A and B are shown apart, each in its own frame.
Chain A
Amino acid sequence: MSHPLKLTLTRCYRFSASHRLHSPRFTEEQNRDLYGKCSNPYGHGHNYTVEVTVGGPIDPETGMIANLGELDPFVEREVIEPFDQKYLNEEIPEFQDVVPTTENLCREIYRRLKSFPAARLERVRVEETSNNSFEYGG
């Protein structure tokens, strides 16, 4: 007996960027208490890993949910090129007024990738370090 199956394809990408966790809504002391070392005014950086998951039917002509030849340049253009080797707080307009926690980063990456035309975006998972990861599926 065959059951209906749900299929997804996941691809990992990497970029490196710096950020500072600091909110103007809090005092300096509150920022230090809340964000600890992450509030260092000079910023600090991470090697981020981004897992992009797309879903949809397998095209019987190609055997693929999405052609990585289309997904890779899309992610490169929308996320990697604008974020890699950047200071997120100052160089990404969306983080001018939003603290670039990896929660917010994950949601911003999802927003940027949502319009991928060839398959449905299922979720985005961002690893800030190998110990911390964040996932958003809309």
Chain B
Amino acid sequence: MIRVTRKIEFSAAHFYHNPNFSAEENRRIFGKCNNPHGHGHNYTVEVTIAGEPDPATGMVLNLKELKEILEREICDRMDHRHLNYEVPELAGQIPTCENLSATIWRLIEPKITQGRLDRVRVYESPDIFAECTLVPSGSANTERR
């Protein structure tokens, strides 16, 4: 099996706030990320597709098609947007990179017709990333609550 990874970047604003918490709790738990005016990041998303290369093309999938899927599903929705207000798929969620990686997984997964989605990594900065993969088969351990 071969893994193919394509990278895409977008820039967006967000802030962390839970209406169930008091203002003081929000500040304590989320720190600077609770600033109600929001702040922004240059996000990098790495999407990995796993599969066997097609003998005729030598490709697991056509990277041009993957690029178009990522532009449509990620950039068109999220680039230069405010993640708290403008992305319906994130509604009701705190837009952490953990939640972003799971949301991006669910957006992309049904669009992949060659190979299968293996991994989604969302870098909020070069030093912080969340990673989403499938729970290995046979494991009852799911990270979803």
Which residues of A come within 8 Å of B, CB atoms? 2-13, 53, 55-65, 67-69
Residues A58 and B102 in contact, CB atoms below 8 Å apart: yes
- In the bound complex, residues from chain B placing their C-beta under 8 Å from that of A2 are 106
- In the bound complex, residues from chain A placing their C-beta under 8 Å from that of B18 are 61-62
Q: Known contacts A4-B134, A7-B101: does B95 contact A63 (CB below 8 Å)?
A: yes
Residue of B nearest to A49 (CB): B127
Q: Known contacts A58-B143, A61-B18: does B94 contact A10 (CB below 8 Å)?
A: no
Residues B131 and A7 in contact, CB atoms below 8 Å apart: yes
Residues A56 and B143 in contact, CB atoms below 8 Å apart: yes
Residues B98 and A58 in contact, CB atoms below 8 Å apart: yes
Number of A-B contacts (CB under 8 A): 93
Residue of B nearest to A8 (CB): B131
Which residues of B come within 8 Å of A, CB atoms? 16, 18, 20-21, 29-31, 93-99, 101-102, 105-106, 109, 126-136, 141-145
Closest 3 CB pairs of A and B: A63-B94, A4-B142, A63-B96
- In the bound complex, residues from chain B placing their C-beta under 8 Å from that of A62 are 16, 18, 29-30, 94, 96
Residues A6 and B98 in contact, CB atoms below 8 Å apart: no
A26 to chain B, nearest CB (A): 38
- In the bound complex, residues from chain A placing their C-beta under 8 Å from that of B99 are 58, 63
- In the bound complex, residues from chain A placing their C-beta under 8 Å from that of B134 are 3-6
- In the bound complex, residues from chain B placing their C-beta under 8 Å from that of A11 are 127-128
Residue of A nearest to B29 (CB): A62
A110 to chain B, nearest CB (A): 18
- In the bound complex, residues from chain B placing their C-beta under 8 Å from that of A5 are 102, 105, 132-135, 142-144
From A7, A57, A65, A67, B29 is in contact (CB under 8 Å) with A67
